[in-house]
Amino acid sequence: MNYSNPTHLQAAILDWAGTVVDFGSFAPTQIFVEAFAEFDVQVSIEEARGPMGMGKWDHIRTLCDQSPIAERYRKVFGRVPTDEDVTAIYERFMPLQIEKIAEHSALIPGALDTLTRLRQQGLKIGSCSGYPAVVMNKVVELAAQNGYVADHVVATDEVPNGRPWPAQALANVIALGVDDVAACVKVDDTVPGILEGRRAGMWTVALLCSGNALGMTHEQYQALTPERLDAERTRIHALFEGSRPHYLVDTINELPEVIADINRRLEKGEVPQLA
């Protein structure tokens, strides 16, 4: 038996907030700010956005490891945050997140039509998120009410290690019955999500404008002048550079053209690991 490269994509593995739902990825970021505030520690929304894409406990740990935030915590509690302190913040974060997730549950404009086109091309739709299962269940429920149902969902606490490790993406490969990781494309608005796809051996697509990196509502995004939009794209390109995405586009609505290009590359024998 000999190995042969796949000649077309079989599955798209999609992130949730900032990719398919919640333009600007506001649901997780705002709740981080509120959770820290309940411990009398100020965290700006810009700081909260920094580690986006990680599992939420790891996200809080990363924030607490940043010197300015650790110093603010020390002024309140007389010590820098321990893992037990991180867990306490996380345990406050979780009910806040579940309570307020519906406020940011709208689908990205145009996403549902785009995903319908992908399914018509025979692609399976997998998904994963930095949310734990208890939050993910609510996100999935709300998305279904708006017409979006993924073929498979993997929460960050359903695998040994979340992003930037590849476990969630690979769990989708297994569940969807995909026969080669090179026949998958991972779509995400965060660097950890792109690293996840890269480490899983998949094609990767970074979203520049619908997610965490731009951090604007759809209305704010549409109101940007061409000059400001170009400047923001340049800035966000630089943020993603180290994670080496294969493609960078504004929103998921450009994905059909990307998939057509990947299929052309696969037919010529190219594979994502060498691209």
Rounded CA-CA distance 235/42 in Å is 26
Q: Tell me, yes or no, if the two domains 11-25+106-274 and 27-103 fold the same way.
A: no
Rounded to whole angstroms, how far apart are CA atoms 20 and 6? 26
Contacts of 249 (CB under 8 A, 6+ apart): 205, 206, 207, 208, 255, 258
With a pLDDT cut of 90, the percent of the chain lying above it is: 84
Kindly state the percentage of the chain with pLDDT values over 70.
100
Q: Which of 22, 56, 188, 189 is catalytic?
A: 56
Confidence check: pLDDT of 98 > 90 = no
Supply the pTM of this predicted model: 0.90
Residue matched to tokens 């390109």: 237
Long-range interactions of 170-173: CB distance < 8 A, separation 24+: 170/200, 171/128, 172/11, 172/13, 172/126, 172/127, 172/128, 173/11, 173/13, 173/126, 173/200
Residue spans per domain, the chain: 11-25+106-274, 27-103
Q: Is domain 11-25+106-274 in CATH 3.40.630.30, yes or no?
A: no
Looking at residue 45, its pLDDT comes to 86
Distance of CA 41 to the CA centre of its chain: 26
Mean pLDDT lowest among 42-46, 156-160, 226-230: 42-46
| Residue 56 annotated to the active site | yes
If we measure between CA atoms, which residue out of 203, 210, 216, 223 comes closest to residue 251?
Answer: 210
Which tens digit of pLDDT belongs to each residue from 5-48?
999 999 999 999 999 999 999 887 888 898 999 999 999 988 98
113 is catalytic: no
Other CB atoms within a 10 A radius of the CB of residue 8 amount to 14
3-class secondary structure, 80:
coil
CATH of 27-103, one of 1.10.30.50, 3.20.20.140, 3.30.70.2190, 1.10.150.240: 1.10.150.240
